Amino acid sequence: MWFRLAFKELINHRGFSLFFLANLTIGLVGFIALDSFKLSLKNHIENKSKAILAADLSVYAARPFTLEEETLIDGQMPKGTVLTKEINFMSMIRGPKGAKLVEIVAVDQGYPLYGEMTLDGMRKVGPKEVAQELLNGQTAWIQPELVPLLGLEKGGQVAIGQSEFAVGDLLLEAPGQNFWNAGIAYKVFIGYNQAIKTGLIGEGSRRYHHRLYKLPPDQEAKEVAERLQKVLVEKYGPSPYLYLRTHAQANQQMSRVLGYLNDYLGLVALVALFLAGMGTAFLFRNFLSQRIKELAILRALGASPLDTLRLSLWQIAILGAVAAVLASSLAQLGLPLLAKMMVLFLPLGFQTQLSYQSMILALAVGIGGSTLFCLPMLWGLKGLNPKILLQETYSVREQSGLEAWIWHLPVLLLYWGLSVWQANSIEVGSLFMASLVSSAVILAVLGLLPLKLGRAGLESFGLRLRLALRNLGRGGASLVTSVMAIGIGALLINLIPQIHKGLSTEISAPESGKLPSFFLFDIQPEQRTPLKVFIEAEGYQMGQLSAMVLARLLEVGDHSLTPQKEEAQTREQENAQWAKRRDQNLSYRFELYASEALTAGVWFKGAFDPNSGKLPEISLEERFATRIGVVLGDKLSFDVQGVPLAGEVTSLRRVKWNSFEPNFFILFQPGVLEDAPATFLATIPRVPEDQKVGLQNRLADHFSNVSLINVSGLIKKVLEVAEQVRWAIQAMALLAVIAGLVVVYSIASFNAQSREKEINLLKILGASFADLRISLLIEFGLIGFFSSLAGVILSLGIAWGLAQLIFERIFELDWNVSLLTIGLITLLSMFTALLATSRALAKNPAQLLQAI
């Protein structure tokens, strides 16, 4: 019966129901979509890293395995494990045109355990083709770049050690292999036994023998590796000659990047959910206030306080369940979109199916979360007495002070649990929660202060302003809650774009046209001019020639740097140790690059004058300066290959590292290091794709010591990924903003409606329609303005703090968003107030008198 009644009431209050559903659904959509996305991402990272290692687990050594070792290792593998072997080594191979250093990859039966190899014409091949073509004959698959270098063609002969191989096909990609750095040594795949017969492997050879294992699906590589490591240590002692590597270790970089993104998205989802929770609570309070007399009638008709509670609980449960179903369906639609945005992360196929756990979670959070958010109001129903039917006004009793905190505790606990779960860390989750709670308190103070102070100073103003300020002055707990809620809304709305700004600044990069095609390393001083002439004769330009002088950092200020032997425990310690490692590359130049911006101090004042009586000037990258604990004016002492050299830090720079310009942490004033032994870096921009191999080969012929890396392919990939990440983040931020605006509307609407009777009273007392409307607008405008101002100020503080802690000090203020947030919330607050009270304003005071 109570269910039917609850359902009927919800149908009767369609406006409330729809609003409540929309609000909760928005919050849940982001949360569920991200939950499913996180699961899919975890699977994806695992798949990806398996393909990167081409195995679940690899055991390798710089010598052949002994039979005893092989038996011991294989014996530790679970039943159903598949094994393949691989040997890697460098060798000079010879074709008709000459010899070239290559990396030989000798593979055995079963390779590749994961993924596929790509041959000429995008032909995808696997273990079957490897067995047929590489293991049954003298065939080699070579990278296409080797064709012109060795004067080879498909079917041509290449000499590897004592053996001759026919070039069977051209190899474009293979799992477990990095192809981007192939500029130094291209890859050649041959059969395992064929490699042994080349005579290149044996005593005095430098090579790696790998045993690659594919574990049964139910086995965790990490556990097997730990077990195996233990057995190996027991048998051979802590010997470092046999190395273990799991797919996760092989892919730590990828895992870190995705983990970082995942945490960020999780944070945004929590924000959206919290806003939705606040919105539902306010909507429900509003709903209860409207229905309080109906509930009292029910009590008068014999319903117990528990029955009224049951009715409300049913209503929340119904709305929560419908919202969860709606959110799940929407998330189902949204996930492929999210996956599409992230498509470059997901080359191995991404499962966007909504997980079973996500559905359960949606129901639990939808029903449980809403109930807990509404708990303080629900509890107020227990004291509902039918006699209120005889009173003019009555509102739902809410607790104040300590009692209020106790009734808010369950929802805080729930949210804390979700935060910990999302952040995957008790520390981070708790910090997030603590920040939110302390923000609420700070907001109440920040937002209420001007409202209260303003009252005293503005008493002498006109009726409209006085009315508004008096109302504000009277507002007790309700005003505090409004200020807190609108403030938190503003804080969250503004916070995400502020962090987003920092994050996109970090990942955005220049247009592809401005990026180099090649990076040149190890250019000797006397090669600078000939190399420039050569490159220009080829029809290209050599750019950004930068000296690189190796030096040891000896002292920071007056503190000598001692090598640190202890292992870094945290990322921060690791960074500090890395920054203080003593070998540093110094450079010098007169001008800042486009990718740099001075953040403190002044740029070099021309070349160093040894007679100036001053130390040479030094410019440091700002994050590097922080890591080594250096500020402007500090002295740094170096040993430049035997020569002591000190300088004073006179400027700090922010460097956009992904500009792919030759940037340095430490720049000296020109006129100091010019005579020091240096090698040079340079870039060659805009080389058409089809001319790269030719230029690369001709350069190697003329300047054999100069290493040349084709970076544009790599950069392109990085940029595409960065762009996808940016889109994903923007989409999530938008979700938080929408959720935030819905909350603001709910709050303003509640506040305005609670004024209905008061407005009518004022009318009776002679206040004009315009007076009332304007005073109402002033009142809600002031609440909206000061609350959102406080929220924005606090959010900027938090964004700055987060930038220092998480986003590596990248903080760029987005004034537009901040001003827009304040403006929009103030206007929204005024508009909603007007909308919500329009009925009351339009009413004839006589109606009120009749009601009395």
Partner 1 sequence: MKKWLLVFWFCFPFGLQAQTTLLFLGDSLSAGFGVDPEEGYVALVDKNLQDKGLKIKVINGSISGSTTASAAGRIRWYLKSKPDYLFLALGANDGLRGRPVGEIKQDLALAIELAQKAGVKVLLAGMQMPKNLGAQYTEDFAKLYPDLAQKAKLPLLPFLLKGVGGHPDLNQPDGIHPNPKGHVLIAQLVTDFLILHLQKPYGP
Give DSSP secondary structure letters for 788-812: HHHHHHHHHHHHHHHHHHTSTT---
Identity at 446, one-letter amino acid code = L
* Beta carbon of residue 185, minimum distance to partner 1 (angstroms, whole number): 7
Based on CB atoms, which residue is closest to partner 1, 263 or 522? 522
User: In the complex, what is the shortest distance from the CB of residue 677 to partner 1, in angstroms, rounded to a whole number?
Assistant: 4
**Identity of the residue, 63 or 839, whose beta carbon is nearer to partner 1 in the bound complex:** 63
For partner 1, the binding residue among 90, 325, 412, 561 (CB under 8 A) is 90
Pattern 511-540, partner 1, x by CB under 8 A: -----------x-xxxx-------------
* CA–CA distance, 836 with 286 (Å, rounded to integer): 11
Residue (161 or 450) nearer to partner 1, CB: 161
238 contacts partner 1 (rule: CB under 8 A): no
3-state secondary structure of 169: strand
Nearer of residues 44 and 207 to partner 1, judged by Cβ: 207
Q: Please give the residues from 600 up to 629 whose contact with partner 1 meets the rule CB under 8 A.
A: 610-611, 613-615
Strand partners, 681: 546
89 is a contact residue toward partner 1 (CB under 8 A)? yes
Interatomic CA distance for residues 393 and 760, integer angstroms = 13
User: Closest by alpha carbon to 658, among 708, 599, 722?
Assistant: 722
What string marks each residue from 678 to 717 as x (binds partner 1 by CB under 8 A) or -?
xx------------------------xx-x----------
- Under the binding rule (CB under 8 A), the answer on residue 633 touching partner 1 is no
DSSP 198-252: TT-SSTT--EEEEEEEE--TT--HHHHHHHHHHHHHHHH-S-SSSEEEEHHHHTH
Q: CB-wise, 551 or 790, nearer to partner 1?
A: 551
List Cβ<8 Å contacts ≥24 apart for 764-768: 764/845, 764/848, 764/849, 767/463, 767/467
Spatial separation of the C-alpha atoms in residues 352 and 339, rounded to whole Å: 7
Core vs surface per residue 263-291: b (16+ CB within 10 A) or e:
bbbbbbbbbbbbbbbbbbbbbbbbbbbeb
Binding mask of the shown chain, residues 314 to 343, with x at each position contacting partner 1 by CB under 8 A: ------------------------------
Query: 553 by DSSP, 3-state: which?
Result: strand
Q: Residue 63: which of 83, 84, 87, 90 has the closest Cα? A: 87
State the nearest-atom distance from the C-beta of 91 to partner 1, in Å. Answer: 5
Query: Which of the residues 181 through 210 are near partner 1 (CB under 8 A)?
Result: 184-185, 199-208
344 lies in the binding site for partner 1 (CB under 8 A): no
DSSP string, 687-744: --GGGHHHHHHHHHHH-TT-EEEE-HHHHHHHHHHHHHHHHHHHHHHHHHHHHHHHHH
Residue 241 or 405: which CB sits closer to partner 1?
241
| Using rule CB under 8 A, residue 244 touches partner 1 | no
Distance in Å, CB of 183 to partner 1, minimum? 11
Least distance to partner 1, CB of residue 522, Å: 6
Asked if 283 and 16 count as a contact pair (C-beta separation under 8 A), the reply is yes
Q: Which stretch binds partner 1 (CB under 8 A): 1-9, 99-107, 124-132, 686-694?
A: 99-107
Indicate whether 236 belongs to the interface with partner 1 (CB under 8 A): no
Q: Please give the full DSSP string across 353-379, using - where no structure is assigned.
A: PPPHHHHHHHHIIIIIIHHHHHHHHHH
Contact call for residue 801 and partner 1 (CB under 8 A): no
583 forms beta bridges with 552
| Count of chain residues binding partner 1 (CB under 8 A) | 59
Which residue in 448, 676, 744, 789 binds partner 1 (CB under 8 A)?
A: 676
Nearest distance from C-beta of residue 67 to partner 1, angstroms: 18
CB atoms within 10 A of CB 185: 15
Closest contact distance (angstroms) between CB of 99 and partner 1 is 7
Minimal distance, residue 533 CB to partner 1, in Å = 18
Tell me: does residue 61 bind partner 1 (CB under 8 A): yes
Asked if residue 643 binds partner 1 (CB under 8 A), the reply is yes
**Cβ at position 642, least distance to partner 1 in Å:** 5
Among 572, 675, 689, 808, binds partner 1 (CB under 8 A): 675
Residue 546 touching partner 1 (CB under 8 A)? no
d(CA 437, CA 497): 21
Prior bond of 336 cis (ω within 30°): no
Residues in a beta bridge with 655: 596
Please identify, using beta-carbon distances, which residue of 565 and 571 lies nearer to partner 1: 565
81 binds partner 1 (CB under 8 A): no
151 belongs to the binding site for partner 1 (CB under 8 A): no
Specify the residue for token string 């981070």.
428
Task: List the one residue from 110, 148, 161, 797 that touches partner 1 (CB under 8 A).
Answer: 161
Question: What are the residues binding partner 1 (CB under 8 A)?
Answer: 61-63, 89-94, 99-101, 104, 161-162, 184-185, 199-208, 240-241, 243, 522, 524-527, 550, 563, 565, 582-583, 610-611, 613-615, 641-646, 675-679, 704-705, 707
